[in-house]
Amino acid sequence: MKQNFNEFVDNLQEEIIKKEIKDHNKKIVDLFHNPYHFGKLPEDETTIVKEQKGGPKGDFLRLHLKIENDLITKAYYETDGCGVMIATGSQLILLIEGKSIEFAEKLKHKELNDALMGVPYDETYCIDLAIDTLRSLIEKHKQK
């Protein structure tokens, strides 16, 4: 009986992932299920943090960056948003970590969308929130 149940759960999970990929794409689904640097930087790290809310549901995105000599040496994020918001946060971190502030500042909505292999139109607010939060954080860093 237990093996039948475990088999049922495995099959159900497989069906759910197939549906998610159909509705979004493999890249978004992978980053949602395996987020990159989700959470906060360790307490002992000197960071700059910025949080913003946006989108139709008022999701928040909080970015934590460690910046040394205008280089983003570590980056993490938090969100209460949907799977696409989690994937967007992960992809943003993958794009900017190890890069200069200048690179991050010039990052465009299209570049983030392309890296995600295309976000559904009704969820592009996730990209807007990510880019807007990043730019606001960079502005905060420059004013220090």
| Distance from C-alpha of 95 to C-alpha of 23, rounded to nearest angstrom | 24
For 114-141, write each residue's pLDDT tens digit. Answer: 999 999 999 999 999 999 999 999 999 9
What are the structure tokens assigned to 112, written together?
A: 């983030």
Report pLDDT for 1.
60
CATH class given for the domain over 2-142: alpha beta
Per-residue model confidence as pLDDT tens digits over 78-102? 999 899 999 999 999 999 999 999 9
Per the prediction, the chain carries an average pLDDT of 92
Give the helix/strand (H/E) hosting 97.
Answer: none
- CA neighbours closer than 13 Å in the CB half-sphere of residue 139: 8
Is there a contact between 9 and 60 (Cβ–Cβ < 8 Å)?
Answer: no
The domain locations on the chain are: 2-142
